[in-house]
Amino acid sequence: MRRYLILKLLAITMVVIIFVVVVVWLAIDTLAASYFVTLMEKYHISPEPAHAMFIDAVHRYLLWAFTGAVLLAVTLSYVLMRKVLTPLTRMTGITRDIAAGDFSARVPAGSRDEVGQLARAFNRMAADLDKLENLRRKLMIDVAHELRTPLTNIRGYLEAIDDGVLPSSPETIALLQSEALRLASLVEDVLQLAKADAARGRLRIEPIDARQAIETAVESFRPEFDRKAIAVKVTAPPETLMMWADRNAVGRILRNLTDNAVRYTPPGASVAIDLAAVDNHTVFRFSNPAGALLPEDLPFLFERFYRGEKSRSREHGGAGIGLALVKELVEAHNGTVNAKLTGGRICFRIALPTLPTDPII
């Protein structure tokens, strides 16, 4: 690629040089030579010998200048173009490495010109691809790990029943059903997360009553709140607060946050849900006891398969996908989501645009 581009650039330079030489040559043969003859005749000097010497000398100097210009153009074109095109040549090699699955290589980007900007943009692209590849590998490992545990339990129970070690009793069948439901729940969570990734740009934006959406989510978990004697307090402005969003996506966001609250709130504790309008955004706040969560857990709460209360995650059955799904759906609406620890409680804050906006594609 480099040689081919150098030849094209050199050809352009040669065309310019030849054009200049031809123009000067013709100008001397027509204008300068005629002026020289007129000047010689004015002083009564025979112009023929001097005219021939003048033309020959000028032509000779033009040829020497043309030769020097060609040599200089070739040298400078080779040196400068080699310096300019080296990052492009490296990009070509790195592109082959990326196509083969190696995303670690980078292009040196020392200059501030267009080639340097292209090199930096190329490096950012390679870094993003490297990050995506690492996330893909981590996702595959996490999914395999999460699927392996219930499948191993189911296989162990079935082998024990087949060997006669465990009786085929209602209790054993209930254990098998529990593991099967846990497996189905994990598969459904992974499917919903994949759908959330694919949903960006295909949201059905419509007006939604924010308070009604919260009440619907809370009522769907009312039996769990009552079973654990958890007090739920919903605070919202008296006037109707309308927002523009995808109804199904907002319902999923609120259900996941409510499920997270009821799952990790101990019996007899309280959950607070606040609704407010702030700077053209509808803001939801979910607050419940933090349990074993630590400040260093906060940056990772919205990552896939991350569970802050690792010692209790199996008991509660969470796979660490619910909050990752919340983050995907909120960002698809051009919204923001974050979490903070205050006074032993964890508070999730979700801000969705009140007015319709173009979803992230």
Domain spanning 147-198, CATH class: mainly alpha
Q: List, for residues 118-141, the tens digit of each pLDDT value.
A: 888 888 888 888 877 777 777 677
Lowest mean pLDDT among 64-68, 258-262, 282-286: 64-68
131-161 burial: b if 16+ Cβ within 10 Å, else e: eeeeeeeeeeebbeebeeebeebbeebeeeb
Q: For 204-353, which CATH superfamily applies? A: Histidine kinase-like ATPase, C-terminal domain (3.30.565.10)
Domain ranges of the chain: 2-102, 147-198, 204-353
pLDDT of residue 351: 93
Q: Quick check: do 147-198 and 204-353 share a fold?
A: no
Q: List, for residues 325-349, the tens digit of each pLDDT value.
A: 888 888 888 899 999 998 889 999 9
Confidence band for 199, pLDDT divided at 50, 70 and 90: low
Q: List, for residues 163-193, the tens digit of each pLDDT value.
A: 887 787 887 788 788 778 777 777 776 776 6
pTM of the full predicted structure? Answer: 0.56
Helix (H, G, I), strand (E, B) or coil at 321: coil
With a cut of 50, say whether residue 315 has pLDDT above it: no
**N- to C-terminal Cα distance for the chain?**
35
Phi, psi of 207 (to 5 degrees): -70, 135
Helix axes 170-199, 114-162, angle to 10 degrees: 170
